[in-house]
Copies of this chain bind each other. A is one copy, B any other.
Amino acid sequence: MEADRRIVDAALRRLLPRPGAVPPTVRRAMAYSLFPGGKRLRPVLALEACRVVGGRLRDVLPAAAAIEMIHTYSLVHDDLPALDNDDLRRGRAASHRMFGEAMAILAGDALLTHAFEVLASTGAAHRDAPRRVRAIAALARAAGVGGMIAGQVLDLEAEGRPSSLPSIERIHRGKTGALIRAALEVGGLLGGGRAREVRALCRYGDGVGLAFQIIDDVLDLEGSAEGLGKSIGKDARDRKATFPALLGVEASKRRAERAARAAVVALRPFGTRAARLADLARFIVERAH
């Protein structure tokens, strides 16, 4: 995973807009939020999904970088004063604290737009174009009003209200699950996977995404969310609906373990080729122990 993280980081650097071609400030703000990143979970999953279906790294690498750009844009906008109002991100000043609110809004817009430019611009050999169009559609759906933005809106509207398990699951499926699932789907698609292989990867993604978010909530509650997770500001955290707040820590961990097991089961058709994806699912749950 560490080697893949470095491969993703190098691709992200290479695929940023060329200096000189764009205003320096906005490029600096884009890079500031991209580096140093976290564990690069989503692009690493896309790389591994591509390998599992027998694809080559270069088929999926730009898309993997684009997925991380979309994830990063969502963090930049979520941190804004009008949303989570979070001054810190991964222990550093949030983008709007560093560059001002206007530039943070524009840098977020830029990361989102650049992701689609990267997806549509790199390595689009004619015979790959239909799969590329499907990958773009899958990512736009995951990032859009039926996915990440839906999660954010529902989260916003749930603040201060009593929450239920279905509503928390829906929020999490949007905010975190949709893009994780799409990372697997895109990796499978661009790696040349068959329809049923891509479906199996999506099911794995659903399980892993849910497990990841539950454990993130647990770690956040226990005050040790640094690293893998998104650390949200204390004010925001106090208002947010989480699994442990509703179910308690132990029941939440059991729910995450069940989701991770379902993810591993979905990998059966791939046999031993999927050993690393299975390890990743287990690792996500175990970091809470």
Whether A145 lies near B105 (C-beta < 8 A) is: no
Whether A110 lies near B149 (C-beta < 8 A) is: yes
C-alpha spacing A119/B152, complex, angstroms: 23
Chain A 196-225 interface residues, beta-carbon cutoff 8 Å to B: none
Number of copies: 2
Inter-chain contacts of A136 with B (CB < 8 A): 116, 119-120, 133, 136
C-alpha spacing A221/B110, complex, angstroms: 30
Residue of chain B at shortest CB distance from A174: B23
Whether B144 lies near A25 (C-beta < 8 A) is: no
Q: Name the one of B101, B113, B146 contacting A145, with C-beta atoms under 8 angstroms.
A: B113
A76 CB to closest chain B CB (Å) equals 11
Known: A145-B23, A146-B21. A105 touches B103 (CB 8 A): no
Whether B100 lies near A82 (C-beta < 8 A) is: yes
Inter-chain contacts of A25 with B (CB < 8 A): 153, 157
Whether B145 lies near A17 (C-beta < 8 A) is: yes
Interface string of A150-189 (1 = CB under 8 A from B): 1011101100000000000000000000000000000000
Instruction: Tell me the A residues contacting B by CB distance below 8 Å.
Output: 17, 21-23, 25-27, 30, 77, 80, 82-83, 100-103, 105-106, 108-110, 112-114, 116-117, 119-121, 124, 126, 129-130, 132-134, 136-137, 140-141, 143-146, 149-150, 152-154, 156-157
